[in-house]
Amino acid sequence: MKNTLTIENNKFISEENTFFRYSLIVEYVGSEFSGSQRQPGVKTVQSELETAIKKLLQCDINVVFSGRTDKGVHAKNQIVHFNVPFELNLHRFLYSLNAILSKHISVKNVQKVNKNFHSQKSAKYKWYRYSINNKPQRSVWLEKTSSHIYEKLNVKAMQKALGFLIGKHDFTSFKKVNTPNPVKECVMIYAGIREKAGVINIDLIANRFLYNMVRIIVGTLIEIGKDIYPPEHMLKVLEEKNRTYAGHTAEACGLTLMLVGYEEKYNVNMEINNNENLLCKAS
| Structure confidence at residue 199 as a pLDDT band (50, 70, 90) | very high
pLDDT band, residue 239 (cuts 50/70/90): very high
Cβ(50)–Cβ(64) under 8 Å? Answer: no
- Backbone conformation region of residue 157, classed left if phi is above 0, alpha if psi is from -120 to 50, else beta: alpha
Determine what percent of the chain is predicted with pLDDT higher than 70: 89
CA dihedral 202, 208, 210, 211 (to 10 degrees): 80
| Core vs surface per residue 132-153: b (16+ CB within 10 A) or e | bbbeeeeeeebeebbbbbeeeb
User: How confident is the model over 51-101, as pLDDT tens digits?
Assistant: 999 999 999 999 999 998 988 999 999 999 999 999 999 999 999 999 999
- List Cβ neighbours of 3 (8 Å cut-off, separation of 6 or more): 14, 15, 16, 18
Query: Which pLDDT band, with edges at 50, 70 and 90, does 224 fall under?
Result: very high
pLDDT at 7 over 70: no
Under 8 Å CB-to-CB from 42, ≥6 apart: which residues?
34
Whether the CA torsion 211, 60, 114, 27 is positive or negative: it is negative
CA angle 278, 279, 283 (to 5 degrees): 115
Q: In sequence order, what are the beta bridge partners of 196?
A: 199
Chain-wide mean pLDDT for the chain?
Answer: 89
**pLDDT greater than 60 at residue 283:** no
Could you tell me the pLDDT band of residue 277, with boundaries at 50, 70 and 90?
low
Same fold, 5-122 and 125-258: yes
pLDDT band of residue 282 (cuts 50, 70, 90) is very low
Whether 281 shows a pLDDT value over 90: the answer reads no
Active site residue 70: yes
Run of H or E residues at 100: helix 90-100
Phi, psi angles (nearest 5°) of residue 121: -70, -25
Give the pLDDT score at 269: 67
pLDDT for residue 27: 95
Rounded to 5 degrees, φ, ψ at 194 are -135, 140
- Res 14 pLDDT > 70: no
**Which fold does the domain 125-258 belong to in CATH?**
Alpha-Beta Plaits (3.30.70)
Cα separations (Å) of 199 from 31, 74, 163, 246? 20, 17, 20, 24
Sign of the Cα pseudo-torsion (128, 133, 139, 143, in order): positive
For 223, the 3-state DSSP assignment is: helix
Strand 74-84 and strand 255-261: the pairing is: parallel
How much is the pTM? 0.89
Residue type for 177, please? V
Read off the pLDDT band of 18 (50, 70, 90): confident
Query: What percentage of the chain exceeds 90 in pLDDT?
Result: 75
Given the candidates 3.30.70.580, 2.60.40.1930, 3.40.50.720, 3.40.366.10, the CATH classification of the domain at 5-122 is: 3.30.70.580
Beta bridge partners of 86: 13
Kind and range of the H or E run holding 99: helix 90-100
Query: What is the per-residue pLDDT for 178?
Result: 84
Q: Could you tell me which residue, 282 or 61, shows the higher pLDDT?
A: 61
Tell me the per-residue pLDDT of 116-165, one tens digit each, with 9 for 90 and over: 999 999 999 999 999 999 999 999 989 889 999 999 999 999 999 999 99
Q: What is the pLDDT of residue 270?
A: 58
Instruction: Considering the candidates 60, 70, 170, 203, report the single residue annotated as catalytic.
Output: 70
Domain boundaries, the chain: 5-122, 125-258
- Lowest mean pLDDT: which of 60-69, 164-173, 192-201, 271-280? 271-280
* DSSP class per residue in 66-93: SS---TT-EEEEEEEEEEESEE--HHHH
pLDDT score, position 218: 98
